[in-house]
A and B are shown apart, each in its own frame.
Chain A
Amino acid sequence: MNNYNSAVTPELQLSIEQFYYREARLLDGRQYQTWLGLVDPAISYSMPGRGNPMVNNREHGNEAMISVERELEGLDSDGLPIRDEGFLVLSLRVERSFKMNAWAETPPARTRRIVGNIEITDVTGEQFFVLSNFHLFYARPGVPDSFYAGQRRDVLVRDGDHYKILKREIVMDMANANVPTLGLFL
């Protein structure tokens, strides 16, 4: 990966940042139906499990020894991702949010997220590989407030003047799932 990819112009960076800000506003505003419009029908949406593997002695002294990657049980691993979803399951989640009996969010959770460190790592044709970080505050009545932190690893595709999310892998920064749910739109 080059430090500076010449395909990443200030205009591109700006338009992708604008995309993420808009997405964050839709999600915190509970406009999930509109948000689904930003999702490519072929989306792969996943959240790896995160374990505490043994340190490999042979990697002693190398960065690989404590890399984040080795903790992840993602789609390609033999382990267990926490989420592995396509458009249909995401649609089901959206549909659920607008039913009277989505009890975990009745009344709805209040969320506020800051998406930052938006880094376009690669551009191939109409596809954009983008890393970003998020912090999210989550509150709902009767239970303690929660804080979520993680990284998104996205592939966006150009869609006219906008983008659509073709792939999203969400790496959560938690040891145990110490939150009411990881079933949010993250």
Chain B
Amino acid sequence: MTIKIRDVVNNDATLISRRAWSDDHIYELEKKGIFAKTWLFLGHESQVRKPGDFVQAFMCETPIILSRGEDNEVHAMVNSCTHRGLPVCRSDKGNTKRFICPYHNWSYKIDGELAVIPQEKTMKCKSDKSQLGLKKVPRVESWRGLIFGCFDEYVEPLEDHLGNMKFYLGAFLDRFPNGIEFVGSPQRWVIDANWKVPMENQLGDVNHGPYLHAAVVPQEAADEINEFGYSVVPGKGHGATFRLMPEDAPVDNVAWGMETITGILGGEEVQNYLREIQASAEERVGPVRARMKGLAYGVYPNLSFLWSNAGFKVSHPRGPGKVEYWSWSIVPADAPEHLKKVLRNNHASFFGPGGILEQEDSEAWMQQYLGSKIDFADDRPYYYGLGLGLEKPHPDLPGMVDNTANEHYARAFYLRWRDALLAVEDEA
């Protein structure tokens, strides 16, 4: 029997059925209710600087090309030939004038328009090429260099979708005089887990840190989070966690990057560079956000961000039980090249497939999927009630705020998720 969404998440999202992470029907509803209708992260403007530049992306399981057209605009289109459906682009990234389909060599311009059907040469009738371009992603917008696309052309503007999350993302992105850039190709990690689990982890699950990561995370780090940590639900299913350091905290205790191995071992030059950024951060982000030392963020539905181990991550679903988890390292855009080569390592070695920390997470995610698939335990849904009702507004921080043990971030996520699925549940 088909499961009903109202039986999956209860009204305050304190109880969630195991099926949320393992059921095929729910996964199909997620495609219809979420991935077809919500802004999804595609890439960063630093990846497509010049006309002809492109990178690959995904929207759920659908392959996407993100490119910069001859018109200097950013375009996103489905990487699937209109003739017989083959992907027309096989490289992760590059610069090109044309995407040429391998099967019959239809060729497409960088913005997805169909340029040439070679078979036409030998035929009298001409097809209407204007109708045969690659399927465009109807809405593409960017904020602070982060490019999103949406398959619903009537979706709210991207900035409305981000809402209060802009305050928290901006604390990082605006901290650097020229913003950030993405480094290299994403690390693509295929994990036997549901896509929402890595997402939930970065969205606000700071509380697992001192336990799951006790082998690596020092006690002082956990103490600092206990003392200065916040978990914020900015609205719309997003989440942000960070430490708000005291006004008299020494620069080295606040500055981005100082607490990672890269900062610690980087030597004077790296450290002085990080101190300089912090010294002028207030001019760019104001006094409150200058004191912010982030932990992890989540942008509904499947984008995550790590502050210190600087990375953006997207959780691409591959069925209820598999995720392709992409990680990019990021660096300040105006850092000297030789420092970028040092700072890019903030992410790798600790996170991503080779990460000493994230290997524990990926294990937890795989095991959570297995636990979500078992039989005979449906009367034991997962408990998401920690801290229920303790979150409050805060004079300086938009959204609802509490310490990092409150699971309100997950409740907010799953309430939006529930609404999205309820809205499509009865569509035949």
Contact = CB atoms under 8 A, between A and B. Distances in A.
Interface stretch (B59-67, B88-96, B102-110, B166-174): B88-96
Interface stretch (B140-148, B149-157, B287-295, B343-351): B343-351
A180 B91 contact: no
Contacts of B324: 176
A150 interface: no
B190 A104 contact: no
Contact of B94 (A49, A53, A100, A142): A53
Nearest to B264: A88
Interface in A28-86: 47, 49, 51-55, 73, 75, 77-86
Enumerate the 4 nearest inter-chain pairs by beta-carbon distance, A residue then B residue, closest first: A79-B184, A80-B184, A54-B94, A177-B353
A96 interface: yes
Interface stretch (B9-17, B37-45, B219-227, B361-369): B361-369
Nearest to B91: A54
B322 to A, nearest CB: 10
Given A99-B214, A177-B190, A88 B184 contact: no
Contacts, number: 120
B183 A78 contact: yes
A152 B77 CA distance: 39
B92 A52 contact: yes
A123 to B, nearest CB: 29
Given A77-B184, A176-B189, 15 more contacts: A47-B354, A49-B185, A54-B96, A73-B185, A80-B344, A84-B349, A88-B261, A89-B349, A96-B356, A100-B215, A101-B215, A103-B360, A175-B188, A177-B187, A183-B354
A14 interface: no
Contacts of B367: 142
Contact of A49 (B187, B215, B364): B187
Interface of A: 47, 49, 51-55, 73, 75, 77-86, 88-89, 92-93, 95-96, 99-104, 142-144, 175-183
A20 B212 CA distance: 34
B190 A84 contact: no
A80 B348 contact: yes
Determine chain A's interface SS by DSSP, over half rule. loop
Contact of B185 (A79, A93, A102): A79
A104 B94 contact: no
A96 B215 contact: yes
Contacts of A180: 191, 359, 362-363, 366
30 contacts: A49-B187, A52-B92, A53-B94, A54-B91, A54-B94, A55-B91, A75-B341, A78-B184, A79-B183, A79-B184, A79-B185, A80-B187, A80-B347, A80-B348, A82-B348, A82-B352, A84-B348, A88-B261, A93-B356, A95-B215, A96-B356, A99-B214, A101-B212, A101-B215, A102-B360, A142-B366, A142-B367, A177-B187, A177-B353, A180-B362
Contacts of A101: 211-212, 214-215
Interface string B185-224: 1011111100000000000000000011011100000000
